[in-house]
Amino acid sequence: MEPAELTAVAFGVLYILLAIREHRACWIAGGISTAIYAGVFYNAGLPLQAALQVVYVAMSVYGWLAWKPDSAAAAPRSWPVTRHLAALLGVVFATALTAPLAAHFALAVAPVADSLGTWASLVATWMLARRIADNWLWWIAIDAGLAALFASQGLAMTGALYFAYALLAVAGLRSWRKRRAPS
């Protein structure tokens, strides 16, 4: 395992633990982890995941600003099923556009998985930053799939991290649902 991957894993664990607790510092740990992962994923032949990490750095800034200390008490909300279906349709559409391009230009070793994981992760991260409690449902599915993808590319520790993320997302879902605002 490369030192960069190990460092990214450590900051990634800190990120998820802080996010579950709705601690604003999660965005700092997440920004550091994703900045490191941009290089790790690029070197592993997952360019869309690498590009996603750069977007995550920007999302970390957005999350930090959105979770202002005075907004820390804001209760998580839920989305209606129709909004989830619309978001899922958007993810499928974006994947259908980018996966063939990634395959055609030989950019990715697993173009469909890379694309699907990228677009779904963007939606779930935006949901987390907006305090949508259902983001954890998305992360359970996304992280389980990405764990397999990363492990298949020789990123064993990252695969283990994403599997742990999927398990921790269950804890996040329970925690956030307890604090969810009434619908």
Mean predicted confidence (pLDDT) in 116-130: 92
pLDDT level of residue 109 (50, 70, 90 thresholds): confident
* Rounded percentage of the chain residues whose pLDDT exceeds 90: 60
For 175, phi and psi rounded to 5 degrees? -65, -45
pLDDT of residue 182: 61
Q: What's the whole-model pTM score?
A: 0.83
Q: In this structure, which long-range contacts are made by residues 2-9, counting pairs with CB atoms below 8 Å and at least 24 apart in sequence?
A: 2/40, 4/36, 4/39, 4/40, 5/36, 5/40, 5/155, 5/157, 5/158, 6/157, 7/36, 8/33, 8/34, 8/36, 8/37, 8/40, 8/158, 9/33, 9/157, 9/158, 9/160, 9/161
pLDDT of residue 84: 96
- Sorted by where each begins, the domain ranges of the chain are 3-179
pLDDT of residue 66: 87
Mean pLDDT rounded to a whole number for the chain: 89
